[in-house]
Structures are given as structure tokens and as C-alpha cells.
């Protein structure tokens, strides 16, 4: 190979390398179920534990993580809330750009005071929302939740079987993901980081 041909080949390799650097990173493959473009789970309009009306618009610019449950839930609810608290700790400064919202499916027993004590015990910036019975049924329908009351020994000792998963909205308020309770918290952390890194469109 002549010196000229060698130099041209070297220049071509260098150009390809630079082109590769300019290429955008491949899109993140979400670990949770991708709900982008779903025609349900439109959001919420409910009072929080202090009586302040809340909608997704209140959290514009943040990833909003929504979990449906109730304070007397024996397993899925405390487990998920503890995992979300751990995830936000892992996110470090980026945790300020994530809002966790707990929506009760048991408004008859979950008073505002009880909800506030419950969620802030996991993390002080967690919020809980509580609607009346009609509002609760409407949001259950909109999110396509499974919610079934299981009678207990007394009228007030019932439990509630419910969809145990987390709905995630991007900073533009669009539904993007559903994370089942079985999803490894490390994988969910990666999904949240990917949403936080997305450019607004």
C-alpha cells in the first residue's frame, strides 16, 4: 500500500469514528410495561391529605409515580412504598424531579390524617390523595384497576384485593409505564433515570 493510500484509509477510519461519536444513543429499552400512547390512565384531580386539590399539572417537569393502595394493606402497599423510598434515595439529587403519589382505594377508612402519617413515614415528600366514593370509582375505572373488597370477621375488618403496580407519567404529564410489583427496584430505577434524561418533545 502506498503512503497516500494508507493516509486516505486512516482518514476514512477517523471519519467513521467521529460519525459514531455524533450518533445519538439508542433509545432506552424500558423494563416496565410501556404504556406510551395509552387511551386510559389520564391522570387525577383529587384533594391531598391537607385538602389541597391536586392534578398532574402540579408536577409538571417531574416524573410522577402513582400507586393505588390503602393504609391497612398488609403486604403490597408497604413493600412498594418502601421500595420507592429506596429508589429515590438511589437517585440522589434527581429525586427532586420525581413525585410519588399514593391514591387510596379505601376512602371510607383512610382519613386524610391517617394517609398523611402513612405516606410521610416512608418519605417526607410523598403525597397521598383521597377522593369521595364516586371519585374513587371513577379513577379506578379510568386506570383499569382491579379492586375487590374481601369481607373480614367484622364489617370494618375487610381487606381489598387490588392491582399492585405503579403507573409512571413523564415530565410532560403523559402516561408512559406500568411497573408490576415483581419488577426489580434496580430496573425501575433505570427506567426513571431514562425518563428524566429524555428531552421534552
Burial string for 156-194 (b: 16+ CB within 10 Å, else e) reads: eeebbebbbbbbbbbbebbbbbbbeeebeeeebbbbbbb
Residue pair 136/47 in contact by the 8 Å Cβ criterion: no
3-state secondary structure of 168: strand
Q: What is the pLDDT of residues 60-81, one digit of tens each?
A: 999 999 999 999 999 999 999 9
Query: Residue 80: what are its φ and ψ, rounded to 5°?
Result: -65, -45
Q: What average pLDDT score do residues 103-131 get?
A: 98
Identify the three-state secondary structure at position 170. Answer: coil
Residues 6 or more apart in contact with residue 96 via CB below 8 angstroms = none
Give the start-to-end residue ranges of the domains of the chain: 30-197
Total number of residues shown for the chain:
201
Residue 28 is predicted with a pLDDT of 75
- Whether 71 and 109 have beta carbons less than 8 Å apart is answered as yes
Q: Classify burial at 150, counting beta carbons within 10 Å of its beta carbon; exposed 0-12, middle 13-18, buried 19 or more.
A: exposed
* Top-level class of domain 30-197: alpha beta
Q: Does the annotation flag 73 for ligand binding?
A: yes
pLDDT of the residue at 26: 60
The secondary structure of 84-142 as a DSSP string is HHHHHHHHGGGGGGEEEEEEES-TTT--HHHHHHHHHHH-TT-EEE---HHHHHHHHHH
pLDDT at residue 84 is higher than 70: yes
pLDDT score, position 21? 43
Q: Is 77 a known ligand-binding residue?
A: yes
Amino acid at each position: 500500500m502506498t503512503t497516500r493510500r494508507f493516509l486516505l484509509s486512516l482518514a476514512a477510519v477517523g471519519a467513521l469514528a467521529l460519525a459514531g461519536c455524533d450518533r445519538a444513543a439508542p433509545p432506552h429499552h424500558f423494563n416496565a410495561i410501556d404504556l406510551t400512547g395509552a387511551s386510559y390512565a389520564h391522570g387525577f384531580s383529587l384533594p391531598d391529605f391537607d385538602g389541597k386539590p391536586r392534578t398532574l399539572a402540579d408536577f409538571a417537569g417531574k416524573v410522577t409515580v402513582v400507586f393505588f393502595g390503602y393504609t391497612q394493606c398488609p403486604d403490597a402497599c408497604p413493600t412498594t412504598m418502601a421500595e420507592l423510598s429506596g429508589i429515590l434515595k438511589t437517585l440522589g439529587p434527581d429525586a427532586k424531579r420525581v413525585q410519588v403519589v399514593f391514591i387510596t382505594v379505601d376512602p371510607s377508612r383512610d382519613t386524610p390524617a391517617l394517609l398523611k402519617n402513612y405516606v410521610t413515614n416512608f418519605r417526607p415528600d410523598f403525597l397521598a390523595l383521597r377522593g369521595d366514593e364516586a371519585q374513587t370509582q371513577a379513577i379506578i375505572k379510568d386506570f383499569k384497576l382491579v379492586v375487590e373488597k374481601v369481607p373480614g370477621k367484622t364489617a370494618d375488618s375487610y381487606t381489598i384485593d387490588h392491582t399492585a403496580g405503579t403507573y409512571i407519567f413523564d415530565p410532560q404529564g403523559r402516561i408512559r409505564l406500568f411497573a408490576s410489583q415483581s419488577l426489580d427496584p434496580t430496573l425501575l430505577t433505570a427506567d426513571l433515570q431514562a425518563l428524566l434524561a429524555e428531552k421534552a418533545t
